[in-house]
Amino acid sequence: MKTQFTRSEIALATSALLAAAALASHAPASAADKASAKAAGTYVTGDFHNHTTCSDGQISMKKLIGKAVGTWNLDWFVQADHGGSSAKNCTLAEDPIEPVAPALGLPTSNTGPWPPATYPGISSGVTGGQPAASGKGPQQSWQATLPGGVAAIKGDGTANPKAMWRWQEIKEFQYPVAEAEGRARQKPVWIGVEQNAPGHEHISTTVLKGQLPWPNAGVAGNATLQAQYEYCFDRSDSDTSRGAENQWDCAVTGSTLNASLDATARKLTGATSGDTNNSGNGGHLKTLEGIKWMAEKAPTTSYFVPAHLERPGPFNPTGNGGYNIEHLRDFNNTGPQIAFGFESMPGHQAAANRGEYGPTITGGVTGGFPNSTGGGTYGGTGIMSAQVGGVWDALLGEGRNWWFFASSDYHNRGSFGPDQRESNQDFQPGEYQKTHVMVRKGANNLAAEGIIDGLRSGNAWATSGDLIDRLAFVVCTRNPAVPSSAFKSLVEKAAANAVAKGGEVRIDGCATMGEKLVVRQGVELMVGIAVRDPQGTNNSPYTFANPSLRQIGATQPLNAPVLDHVDLIGGNVTGYRATTDANYKGTIVPNVATGLLTPNGNTGGARNDSTTVRKVFNANNWTALADGVRVMSYKVSGVTASQYFRLRGTNLPPATPNETDADGNPILDFKVSPNDQAVAGTIPCNDAGCPTHLRTVGGVKYSSFDVAAWADLWFYSNPVFVQVSGGTVVAGAH
């Protein structure tokens, strides 16, 4: 790609760069200023939340890894089944005799593709796609396939077939497959766990220490610490064997809760009196113990990231439910280098109830959650992040290192087989959502340690449907000796060049995502943004016009989305709230009846009223360069307060009916596809190419399932902080 600037702009940028270099000593020093100290890096894509038959997924370890880093070409992959136990052997490959339907759109042959419900060889009443035959491949039981049979399955349990505890699956079976597959494909692949968190729902976790994924070679690694973490801190793991021959002890050095460890299991089976099932407030304490354990055992190679955290609704003090903002603050306070973000853009994006979130209205949700916080997703994102001035902004307004991530949560494609392209449930890792993370590897190979460092740094962003595939986002302080117009040109050119190379802006006096820029009172800041809207098509199998955009007279192929606008969002930083502050806690109050994110009715510490959309960029005010690059900038004069900036963008214009409000905020997704499947949707899909599996009422097809997801795309960046000397310290960023 060749960026195109005028000769005068180049001259101004050159003079600005020379002036900035000559006068660098006049700029205040901060970690973000020292560009030369940063190792060279690039943004890489991955997924850390997904499933095989070793929990409640449909496919084998080998097939899932192949889909993630092969078919969808992710750069790294963490395989993370639920904690607990499973009867199925996910290390067995799919039976090669079982026919596999080619992807939608491939030439018709004697092997397919086959429309839903017409797949050959269907048995036992299974319809649509490749049947998950119970007697084949990874659908077979451990008991029936291990040489030692039931005697080879360790720990407690008497069921027939006997389930294997996840700790044994991880340690003895899944890790060796992950290591071998990653090394064969020359990509970092390792093991994590989707923890069933005591007192809460699910957490994406990893303990990398001991694992030796590619580029390690030769000596085999182990996932012993990851297995022990699952045994000790997953509420679905009721095994009391201490890991059989491992004889694990779950004590945390110096913890007052060590006295409460069960004498037999040597783990917390009730963190406080009356919480014998590790639920509610006592369960929350046990979850915090797990973070402390990670910090003790693997402080730089672990992470703890709450998953789809709005889905189960608010926290239940006597059960296992969701999360309130105070719990996120607790996590981050307990282990800021381990608990540093959330998956607020959930997986299950093709499900009827997008993200498997449920509405807070009368009536339940089959297979989902009837009382999800926020009442559902908004443009595929939970309310904690989708709402400007909501929970995420409240955390950023404290200056916390609390970052935004996305993962697939792949289990299956609903009524379709894993090799078909349609889905009425999940997308596979890398197919629809991606987390892009900066890894500073220099000339070395990509490695898992660097990926975890990148996630922890916050220099990451997430997107759906490859709406953009490159991003440069910086805040820079202007040297007073440099004209404002010249400085603007410098920052814009630097951002454009960074996007062209898939890297980042490297100029002293600039900070990027996850960093803070320390400046004097009254200086001028320049926000520089460049994105690449990839030319061509994404992974959508559908070529008909986007039904959401057809409502406003636009004809845009569903597999060729175009970025409509980018919102620059900003808010003030006022410092961490003390645990004794009444506003340490807070409640989300959604507008479910209207489906709008405004007005913000959140209470207490679950809001940040200083946060607003500072600028909207679109074709009218960005600079369009070759190869889909869009360049933007925003000047902040006379800065006086510590603050932050973040980005979001979409393919949908403001006021797209049933999708966005007049200000461009996403609308509750149930407004497009109501919870009651017998009720008509709000966006017809009238094109001849609209698939047969869509919601159909009165002979009319409506945008739903995967079509609704491909129609409604977003990206979210992580924040850049600004710390004003003499003002509030941004304690969570470097």
Assign 271 a pLDDT band (cuts: 50, 70, 90): low
Answer yes or no: is pLDDT of 701 > 60: yes
Final residue of a structural domain among 445, 474, 491: 445
Give mean pLDDT, residues 118-126. Answer: 35
Q: Find all residues with CB under 8 Å of 714, minimum gap 6, and list them.
A: 345, 379, 380, 381, 463, 464, 467, 648, 649, 650, 666
Give mean pLDDT, residues 129-150. Answer: 79
Selection from 734, 690, 632, 523 nearest residue 33 by Cα: 734
The answer to whether residue 232 sits within a structural domain is yes
8 A C-beta contact, residue 640 and residue 522: yes
How many Cα neighbours within 13 Å face the side chain of 488?
13
Clarify whether residues 713 and 669 are in a common domain. Answer: yes
Clarify whether residues 531 and 562 are in a common domain. Answer: yes
Cis peptide before 557 (omega within 30 of 0): no
Clarify whether residues 320 and 215 are in a common domain. Answer: yes
Give mean pLDDT, residues 524-550. Answer: 97
**Which residue has 């980042």 as its token pair?**
504
Beta bridge partners of residue 47, listed in sequence order = 77
SS3 203: strand
Clarify whether residues 666 and 564 are in a common domain. Answer: yes
Amino acid identity at 650: T
8 A C-beta contact, residue 642 and residue 730: yes
Clarify whether residues 413 and 520 are in a common domain. Answer: no
The answer to whether residue 187 sits within a structural domain is yes
pLDDT, position 136: 81
Answer yes or no: is pLDDT of 129 > 50: no
Average pLDDT value over all residues in the chain: 90
Q: Give the integer Cα–Cα distance in Å for 9 and 14.
A: 9
Clarify whether residues 208 and 250 are in a common domain. Answer: yes
8 A C-beta contact, residue 478 and residue 523: yes
Assign 585 a pLDDT band (cuts: 50, 70, 90): very high
> How is residue 172 annotated by DSSP?
I
Structure-token pair, residue 363: 């009536």
First to last CA, the chain: 32
- Read off the pLDDT of residues 140-196 as tens digits, 9 standing for 90 and up: 999 999 999 999 999 999 889 999 999 999 999 999 999 999 999 999 999 999 999
SS3 35: helix
Answer yes or no: is pLDDT of 118 > 90: no
The answer to whether residue 228 sits within a structural domain is yes
8 A C-beta contact, residue 172 and residue 164: no
Output the pTM of the full model. 0.92
pLDDT, position 314: 92
Q: Give the integer Cα–Cα distance in Å for 291 and 411.
A: 27
Rounded to 10 degrees, the C-alpha dihedral 464/57/139/190 comes to 80
SS3 breakdown of the chain: % helix, strand, coil, rounded to 5? Answer: 25, 20, 55
What is the number of other CB atoms lying within 10 angstroms of the CB of residue 384? 25
- Read off the pLDDT of residues 407-435 as tens digits, 9 standing for 90 and up: 999 999 998 889 889 999 999 999 999 99
Give mean pLDDT, residues 332-338. Answer: 99
The answer to whether residue 134 sits within a structural domain is no
Structure-token pair, residue 703: 């945008």
- Read off the pLDDT of residues 208-231 as tens digits, 9 standing for 90 and up: 999 999 999 999 999 999 999 999
- Read off the pLDDT of residues 497-523 as tens digits, 9 standing for 90 and up: 999 998 999 999 999 999 999 999 999
Give mean pLDDT, residues 84-98. Answer: 84
> Which has more confidence, 215 or 133?
215
Clarify whether residues 438 and 570 are in a common domain. Answer: no
Clarify whether residues 270 and 195 are in a common domain. Answer: yes
Mean pLDDT is lowest, of 18-22, 41-45, 349-353, 587-591, for 18-22
pLDDT, position 487: 96
Answer yes or no: is pLDDT of 125 > 70: no
Assign 53 a pLDDT band (cuts: 50, 70, 90): very high
The answer to whether residue 556 sits within a structural domain is yes
pLDDT, position 22: 32
Selection from 567, 503, 571, 572 nearest residue 532 by Cα: 503
The answer to whether residue 380 sits within a structural domain is no
Clarify whether residues 14 and 85 are in a common domain. Answer: no
8 A C-beta contact, residue 594 and residue 670: no
Strands (E), 296-432: 302-306, 341-345, 403-406
Clarify whether residues 170 and 21 are in a common domain. Answer: no
Q: Find all residues with CB under 8 Å of 288, minimum gap 6, and list them.
A: 330, 331, 334
Answer yes or no: is pLDDT of 363 > 60: no
What is the domain extent for residue 252? 50-91+144-306+312-345+407-445
Amino acid identity at 719: P
Strands (E), 583-687: 586-587, 603-604, 612-618, 623-624, 629-636, 643-650
8 A C-beta contact, residue 531 and residue 501: no
Selection from 445, 452, 498, 492 nearest residue 471 by Cα: 498
Answer yes or no: is pLDDT of 91 > 70: yes
Query: Domain tally for the chain?
Result: 2
Q: Find all residues with CB under 8 Å of 331, minimum gap 6, and list them.
A: 287, 288, 291, 304, 306, 339
> Which has more confidence, 269 or 609?
609
Q: Give the integer Cα–Cα distance in Å for 379 and 714.
A: 7
The H-or-E segment that residue 77 falls in is strand 76-82
The answer to whether residue 213 sits within a structural domain is yes
The answer to whether residue 117 sits within a structural domain is no
Assign 272 a pLDDT band (cuts: 50, 70, 90): low
Clarify whether residues 18 and 161 are in a common domain. Answer: no
Question: Vertex 583, ends 578 and 586: CA angle to 5°?
Answer: 125
Clarify whether residues 244 and 189 are in a common domain. Answer: yes
Selection from 590, 636, 694 nearest residue 484 by Cα: 636
Q: Give the integer Cα–Cα distance in Å for 497 and 4.
A: 10
SS3 338: coil
Final residue of a structural domain among 445, 473, 499: 445
SS3 648: strand
Q: Give the integer Cα–Cα distance in Å for 437 and 2.
A: 24
Q: What are phi and psi of 379, to 5 degrees?
A: 60, 30
Beta bridge partners of residue 405, listed in sequence order = 343
